[in-house]
Amino acid sequence: MCGIAIETNQGRITGIRGDALDAFSRGHICPKAVALQDLHDDPDRLRYPVKRTASGWQRISWREAFALVERGLKQVQREHGRDAVASYVGNPTVHSLGASMFVPRLLKALRTKNRYSATSVDQLPHHLAAMWMFGHPLLLPIPDLERTQYLLVIGANPVASNGSLMTAPDVTKRLKDIHTRGGRVVVIDPRRTETAELASAHHFIRPGADAALVLALLHVIFAEGLERPGSTGDLTDGLADVRSIAARYSPEQVTTFTGMSAEAIRTIARDFATTNQAVAYGRIGVSTQEFGALSCWLITVLNAVTGHLDVQGGAMFTRPAVRVVESRRTYRGAGRFGRWKSRVRGLPEFAGELPAAAMAEEMDTAGTGQIRAFITHAGNPVLSTPNGARLDQAMEGLQFYAAIDFYINETTRHAHVILPPVGPLEREQYDVVFHAFAIRNTAKYAAALFPKPSGTKHDWQILSELATRMTDGSLGKKFRARIEHAIVSCIGVRGLLNRELKRGPYSAEKLSVRMLEQNPHGVDLGPLVPMFPAALRTTNGRINLIPSALTADLPRLDAAIATAAPGARGLVMIGRRELRSNNSWMHNSERLVRGKRRCTLFMHPADAAQRTLSDGARVAVRSRTGEIEVELEVTDAMMPGVVCLPHGWGHAREGVQLRVAAAHGGASLNDITDDQRVDALSGNAAFCGVPVEVRPGTPTPSAT
């Protein structure tokens, strides 16, 4: 989403900088954008299909690659049923125009219920709350950073991520702007993050206690008569029920569970409720925990009860140029929940997908419906899903595995065939999904910088061909699939995007691909504006503050609060994100990994002293699922009792062909996260608050 200016000379990149004229990012650039040059030139990146043989990887033709995938997947489905084939779609998929348009076609053609994606290791609770409250999983409230006077950040670090489900280039400047106009930023997090360093105030909280905190905030607001639903009040159902629920959660009742003082909770509640333009925003920390759905729901309730929903400076909704929220008439179940469950543990389906925490057990548990074949797109679940070591081992027993990816990484090393798409600078781009989460309405199209090399394919071409080959049924159905493939191959993603832009809400402005090509710095479509009631997709056109599935989950939270013990000495682990890292493939860029070691364990000085551990020492971190060794960083930025590791590392596995990453291998956080720890309601992985033990590890060579 950030505009960048790339200089080239005779087909070589000579410089990448932020585009100062970009309508949205205004010259901001982060290290990951500069590293696009490393990705483009990376000798480890695959350009052509390969298959695994007894003597190593062998280049093959596209014709052979497609035939191998078709034969391998269809054979498994013939022998064991459609659901014996599983799919996993990784995060980079939604950052590619072609992939975001064509992955659904392939998934539909596979006709399997064993579909998985990064959604359930990242953000599923947000979508559930939006579906049950507003009628659509993509109706996500976005903080109006440009006008707010009070930003309450719970379990999020937007300075490192430039937002997350909140597309916001240069968050650092935007947070400083809040201070400049006399506003405040308050951060609640078990770690004093980069965002917390810029905040007016930071409060530690025990991992997994966010729902209890927000209920206590609501308790104070109702008890002191500070509620004011504002303009959305007439559209809201359930306010009285929220009042009744919140009455049970006084600040004093949740102090042990949250680790926050009653005084701090009351101050936050009063300040938030009495500020005219305020917004509460929660992200990874609230969604990847055992009470993820409750936390996401209650944060939105807090915004609604205080009149900070769908108003300037509050939590607002976008009006993107490409519609991602369909009308009520055409919405056909993308937000359905629990229509089927996973075979082994009974985890619920959402939007046609099962929770990724179930993948490994569905592969290694014998029986009818066992996963025997796998296809992935732009994903590395061995490093990104809980208990990745178990998944790593389970994949060795697959009958067939095909990967659409341009790296041989920790996951794709198990593949029988890999089909690599071209790189990001060799394809056109329009970010369909993340415009829908942006803090301002804009549109921008970028043509490919470099032509597609001879003999290579775009991701959408690979996906469309596989979807056509995997389409089964009558001759008529197969014929229609081939006709459709021929048409889209002729039109291309540019033509499909152009159609969607002309159908979108800015047709009066004559928005089209050609218009965007004439405006390479993007088009500013204006600030966020109130969207209700027109944007609501509930059956009655109203906001539901008390979805029954969520209120029914409160007794589980009550039990956790009741059993919280003061002064507990055990350690729990959380993850962290860093500005130079997001997805694991970025670790193959020398400019992103050079410098100080980043795969380190953060620990509070008191916890280190109790265990006789020193800064820089090598330590062993053990959980129920396994043990890893990393370097220790002792820092008072951590809440006592909480340790912290970054995700995406662990590149030392045999067969991985990422030379730079392997030289900075680190250890995988997800070798010690627990696939059995999930949010019981949504099935989302619960990475935050994993119980761990830390002890001295193997001394480094320099220490001996």
**189 and 161, same domain (yes or no):** yes
User: How many domains are there within the chain?
Assistant: 4
Task: Kindly state whether residue 434 falls inside one of the protein's structural domains.
Answer: no
Helix/strand/coil for 436: helix
CA 259/CA 184 separation, integer angstroms:
22
- DSSP, collapsed to helix, strand or coil, labels residue 417 as strand
In the predicted structure, residue 704 carries a pLDDT above the cut 70: no
CA distance 649 to 666: 5
- The mean pLDDT value for 495-504 works out to 94
577 lies in a domain?
yes
Residue 13, pLDDT > 50, answer yes
Q: What pLDDT score was predicted for residue 487?
A: 80
Residue that the structure tokens 């950073």 belong to: 145
Return d(Cα 175, Cα 343) in angstroms, integer.
46
Task: Give yes or no: residues 314 and 421 share one domain.
Answer: no
Is residue 167 located within the same domain as residue 221? yes
Asked whether 574 and 289 are in contact (CB, 8 A), the reply is no
* The pLDDT value given to residue 277: 97
Residue type, 297: W
The 10s digit of each residue's pLDDT in 546-575 is 999 999 999 999 999 999 988 767 999 999
Residue 44: its pLDDT value, please?
Answer: 97
Sign of the dihedral through C-alpha 596, 166, 23, 97: positive
Mention every residue, 6+ apart, whose C-beta is less than 8 A from residue 72. Answer: 373, 399, 400, 402, 416, 417
Closest of 542, 529, 697, 544 to residue 627, by C-alpha: 697
DSSP string, 356-401: GGGHHHHHHS-STT---EEEEES--HHHHSSSHHHHHHHHTT-SEE
- Alpha-carbon distance values, 439 to 146, 312, 475, 533, 578 (Å): 8, 11, 47, 20, 22
78-114: pLDDT as tens digits: 999 999 999 999 999 999 999 999 999 999 999 999 9
Which of 152-156, 461-465, 574-578, 696-700 comes out lowest in average pLDDT?
Answer: 696-700
Whether 370 and 515 map to the same domain: the answer is: yes
CA geometry: angle 558, 564, 565, nearest 5 deg? 160
Helical (H) or strand (E) element with 203: strand 201-203
* 599 shares its domain with 650: yes
Any domain includes 52: no
Could you tell me if residue 336 is inside a domain?
Answer: no
C-alpha span between 32 and 42 (Å, rounded): 14
396 token code pair:
């060795």
With vertex at residue 528, the alpha carbon angle to CA 431 and CA 119, rounded to the nearest 5 degrees, is 45
Of residues 181, 145, 143, 138, the one with CA closest to residue 310: 143
| Category of 290 on φ-ψ map: left (φ > 0), alpha (ψ -120 to 50) or beta | alpha
DSSP H helices, 93-209, are: 97-110, 124-134, 158-161, 171-180, 194-197
pLDDT above 80 for 634: yes
Reference 573, options 625, 614, 615, 612; nearest CA is: 625
Given a contact cutoff of 8 angstroms between Cβ atoms, the answer to whether 497 and 516 are in contact is no
What is the average pLDDT score of the chain?
A: 94
B/e letters for 343-380, b = 16+ CB within 10 Å, e = fewer, are: bbbebbbbbbbbbbbbbbbbbbeeeebbbbbbbbbbbb
Residue 167 clears pLDDT 60, i.e. is over it: yes
Q: What is the CATH number of the domain that holds 309?
A: 3.40.228.10
For the chain, give the percent of residues with pLDDT over 90.
Answer: 89
Mean pLDDT of 342-346: 98
Answer whether residue 440 is part of any domain.
no
Do 142 and 75 share a structural domain?
no
**Residue 696: strand pairing partners:** 619
Domain limits at 646? 565-703
Q: Are residues 27 and 95 in the same domain?
A: no
Please report the pLDDT score of residue 654 as a whole number. Answer: 94
Same domain, 136 and 82: no
DSSP one-letter code for 276: S
Spatial neighbors of 44 by CB under 8 A, at least 6 apart, are: 407, 408, 588, 657, 658, 659, 660
Would you state the pLDDT for residue 483?
83
Q: How confident is the model at residue 585 (pLDDT cuts 50, 70, 90)?
A: confident
Q: Which of 598, 608, 615 is nearest to 666 (CA)?
A: 598
450 confidence band (pLDDT: 50, 70, 90): very high
Give Cα 515 to chain centroid, integer Å. Answer: 31
Q: Average pLDDT in the 607-617 region?
A: 97
pLDDT tens for each residue of 297-327: 999 999 999 999 999 999 999 999 999 987 5
Contacts of 172 by beta carbon, 8 Å cutoff, 6+ apart: 159, 198
Task: Output the pLDDT for position 486.
Answer: 81
Among residues 218, 290, 225, the alpha carbon closest in space to that of 545 is found at: 218
* Residue 253 predicted with pLDDT over 50: yes
- pLDDT range class, residue 335, cuts 50, 70, 90: low
- Rg, the chain, Cα only: 25
In a domain, 350, yes or no: no
What CATH number does the domain containing 461 carry? 3.40.50.740
Q: When comparing pLDDT for 248 and 474, which is higher?
A: 248
Residues 360 and 500 in one domain: yes
Q: 335 in a domain, yes or no?
A: no
pLDDT at 700: 67
Q: Give the Cα separation of 166 and 698 in Å (integer).
A: 41
| Cα–Cα distance list, 16 to 6, 29, 37, 361, 593 (Å) | 5, 9, 8, 44, 18
Q: What percent of the chain has pLDDT over 70?
A: 97
- Mean pLDDT throughout 268-282? 98
**Secondary structure element (H or E) that encloses residue 39, with its range:** helix 36-41
Same-domain status, 175 and 282: yes
Q: What is the pTM of this model?
A: 0.96
Only one residue has tokens 């290290």, namely: 31
- Which pLDDT band, with edges at 50, 70 and 90, does 331 fall under? very low
Alpha helices in 111-183 (DSSP H): 124-134, 158-161, 171-180
311 in the same domain as 279: yes
Does residue 419 sit in the same domain as residue 393?
A: yes
Residue 45 maps to a domain: no
Partners of 417 in the β-ladder: 51, 402
Burial class (CB within 10 angstroms; exposed 0-12, middle 13-18, buried 19+) of 605: middle
E strands in 558-667: 571-576, 600-603, 618-622, 627-634, 642-646
Q: Hey, is 497 helix, strand or coil?
A: helix
Which residues are registered as beta bridge partners of 630? Answer: 619
* Burial of residue 263 (number of CB atoms within 10 Å: 0-12, 13-18, 19+): exposed
Q: Assess contact for 352 and 107: CB atoms under 8 A.
A: yes
Instruction: For residue 328, name the pLDDT band (cuts at 50, 70, 90).
Output: very low
Rounded to the nearest 5 degrees, what angle is found at the Cα of 545, between the Cα atoms of 301 and 320? Answer: 75
